Structures are given as C-alpha cells and as structure tokens.
Structure 1
Amino acid sequence: MTDIPILFEDGEAIVINKPAGLPVDRPKKGGRCLEDHFEQLRMGFQRDPSPVHRLDTDTSGCLLLARNPKALKRFSMAFEERSVEKRYLGIVAGVPSETEGTIELSLAKISSAEKGWRMIAAKKGKPSVTHWKLIAEHDGHALVEFRPETGRTHQIRIHCEAGLGMPLLGDPIYGTGKGAPRTMLHAAGLMVPREKKPAIEVASPLPRDFAALGFADG
C-alpha cells in the first residue's frame, strides 16, 4: 500500500490525490518529491509511473500518472489538444463583485536575481483562458471554482491576481503569503477522454486546511 491516496487505477493510469507540499519534480536544492513514492505507486507493475502533467508544490488534488510509455503519449496529447477537463477550487483573499466570468490574459515568464522567476500578464505572452464561478463566501474570503482551458504555468494564480484583482490566499508570489499555511489551490476534478475505454473521471474532496478556513465539501 502507498501512503498517497489513490483516486483511480487501471492498467494504464493512476490518479493520485497529491498532498500539498509535495513537489512533482525534485527541487534543485534537493529534498523529497513524488519520485520517492514511485516504487509504492507501481502497485505490482515493473515500471515506475510517469506524471502526465504538473501541479505546483503547494497545490493538492488530482494528478494523473501513466503506467506505460504508450499511455503517457496518449494522455499528453489529450492535454495538448485541450480535451482534458480540469476543475480547481481556490480560496481568494477577498470576494469578487461578480459571481462568474472568464479571464483571458496572455502570460509571460520573467525572472530577476532578487525575486527569482514569476509569471506576468503581457501582450506578447502565451494566450491563457480561465473560467471561474463563485461557490461560497466566509469571513471576507471566497471559495472559487476555476476551469482552465489552457495549462500555463501558474495560470490560475496569476489570473486571480491580475484578472480577479485578488490573489489566492496564502500565495507568497502573487499575494502576501499570509492568511493560510499554503497557496490555497486544490485540483478538485479531472476528466480525461480515451478512445477505446471509458473516460477517466475523478474527484478529490476538499482537504482539511480548506475546512479550517470555513470551506468544506457538502
């Protein structure tokens, strides 16, 4: 058994419920990462599973792993073709004045010696689109559903700050880093179409740190 919860498993795919704080890739400075759990996640298979996409270290929730190279290629193509449906839930530092909308901002990567790298809204950047909907309010914060069409790095985080005008609670790069123990973003749902098999459809319940801030499933 693995200590990482499994949301879905078959012969070509595993979807895990990634804990917040666990990097998908090994940090440059070293330290633990998802790879440390690959042997457990083989679950009877000879080869290690491969992450098909990425979630930020702080982001919890649905992460798809492929169990063989052919599946990895097919799943990666589905992400590139934008046929994968992704649903995120985040707590923003404020309450939007509207109840739903679409954010369209081109994003570019910048870096500096002092602050490291980050994404910014820039006309010459790559197009990115996120649909959002207000789910609940509590104590001056809002639980917002995000459905990104594109999959740019930090897309939802920068769209909150530059598009909604309020960052995700706890975000140290696009916000103040205060108010929460981490950047409050959770990959709550994933739907991956498959040609010869039923689509992979999974949902991950809100974690405890969301409930601690007044937002829980139900």
Structure 2
Amino acid sequence: MIDILTTPLPILYQTGDLVAINKPHGLLVHRSPIASDAAEFAVQLLRNQLGQRVYPVHRLDRKTGGVLLFALNEVMNATMQQQFMEGAVSKTYLAIVRGYTPDEQAIDYPLRRDDGNGGLGTLQDAFTALKTLRRTEVNVPFGKHPTSRYSLVELTPTTGRMHQLRKHMAHILHPIIGDRPHGCNKQNKLFLEQFSMNTMLLHARQIQFKHPISEETITVIAPLQAEFSRMLTTLFGMDKPEA
C-alpha cells in the first residue's frame, strides 16, 4: 500500500470541473464519526494537492480501492450526484472471493438501510450482476479441505446501497477476501498467515458516465493497486485482469 500521507493521489482523469483518482485501500473519502482513528481523508488530500475545493460525487468504502470521482464546483457536484441517483452512471468492480462462483449470477437481494451507527432501517432494493472471470485452486489446506478455491469476479451494481457488494457476496456464500465484518474471518486469517495479506480485495475498476457539458461518454479505468495485483499473480498466475 502506498504511503497516503506523503504520496500524491493518482489522478486518472481531470477537466476544469471533474477529477477522478485511484483511491488507495484504507483511505476514507471524508471525515466520519465511525472511524475516529483516521487522520487523513481523500477530500482533504485532494484539496491540498489541487489547491482548490473538491466535492465527492459518490462514495467508496474505506477498505475499497479504485475510481473515485470528484466535482470541482457546486453546480457540477449537484449535476453528477443526480446522475448517480438516477442510475445513469455505470460502475464495475473486481473482487477476489472464496469458492467457485457461477459463470454469471443476478443477485437481487434487498438490504436494510444502515444509519452508520449500527442501527438498521427499512429494506431497500439492491441488485448486483456477477460475472466470473477466472477460478483457481491452490495447494493451501483450509479446514477439512486439502486445497483452497477462489474466484476472480466482475461485479456491476445497479443500485448503490451501503456495503452492497460486500453484503451481496456474503449472502451468496462467496465472501470477499479481506472483508470484515461481512467476510469469512477464517479465510482472512489464512491470507494473513499464508500471504501476509490483510487488504480487502475489492477494487472499483471502472466508471462510465456522460459528461453533463460536452455530452461525451467518459470511461475512467483504475489500474489495480499493489496488494490486489500481488494476489492476482499469486492465486491466478495473472499480471492483470482479462479484458
């Protein structure tokens, strides 16, 4: 993981009114009362890096790395947030999960609204499309099994509920490696002991939207970060995801 205190945030796309970064795993988007241990935030770091105010138009979990989009003025912020709310923005994620996932699966499973303080609210519709890119079996015993099986999956959510992908993968019994508390603690311990790895293996790979001013279709792709890339090579023998 890069040193987020001293390394500039990687900029993937920038115009006069929008900027996208490759958010490091472990970096909060903004200050939160549920993460009082954090001293640095993407909003603060990017503001200082660019020398101007920035507005996050969507969110990524602290543990998730990848494409994070910011507006550079209030009008663009409101416009892009509206696009997200209307489902006009396409987002694609990569994840490494436990077990062999099906070739494709539609996960239509409502989730309870999380108020951020441990409380649960009403059920909200939540939909994720899953596509399996690669499966692997490694010679690492797990429980009663002599080997361990994992899948590299592409996840495309059409709703944006809190922790949606993490909860959906846990629901279908293929939790994301490194996820806490929705994942498998025994698998997380295995990865720490066998591979010295404790990063959540969820990466916001791509975001696609129509620029509100130029009306051009913009596609922003975030390269994999170090730990995800290392696990891709270690488990699947791949140096990058397949197209």
TM-score after normalising by structure 2: 0.78
Matched AA of 1:159: H
Q: 1:166 to 1:191 in 2, by over 3 A?
A: same
Which residue pairs with 1:35 in the alignment? 43
Cα displacement (A) at 1:211 = 2.4
CA distance in 2, matches of 1:155, 1:35: 23
**Is 2:223 the partner of 1:205?**
yes
CA distance in 1, matches of 2:156, 2:166: 13
Cα deviations by residue, 1:21-43 (Å, 9 ceiling, x for unpaired):
10012132252211331333425
8 A Cα contact 1:15 1:63, kept in partner: yes
Cα displacement (A) at 1:146 = 0.3
Q: 1:189 to 1:170 in 2, by over 3 A?
A: same
8 A Cα contact 2:64 2:203, kept in partner: yes
Which residue pairs with 1:8 in the alignment? 13
CA distance in 2, matches of 1:25, 1:91: 26
Which residue pairs with 1:149 in the alignment? 158
Cα displacement (A) at 1:110 = 6.0
In the alignment, structure 1 segments of 5+ residues that lack a partner are: none
CA distance in 2, matches of 1:67, 1:41: 13
Matched AA of 1:212: R
Which residue pairs with 2:133 in the alignment? 135
**Is 2:83 the partner of 1:85?**
no
| Identity %, equivalent residues | 30
Aligned length: 206
User: Match of 1:144, SS?
Assistant: strand
**Is 2:219 the partner of 1:214?**
no
Q: Which runs of 4+ in 1 moved over 6 A?
A: none
Cα displacement (A) at 1:117 = 2.8
Over the aligned positions, Cα root-mean-square deviation in angstroms equals 2.2
TM-score after normalising by structure 1: 0.86
In the alignment, structure 2 segments of 5+ residues that lack a partner are: 1-6, 139-148, 192-196, 234-238
**Is 2:201 the partner of 1:193?**
no
Matched ranges for 1:48-197 at <5 A: 48-96=53-101, 98-109=102-113, 117=118, 125-138=123-136, 139=138, 140-162=149-171, 164-177=172-185, 178=188, 179=191, 180-197=197-214
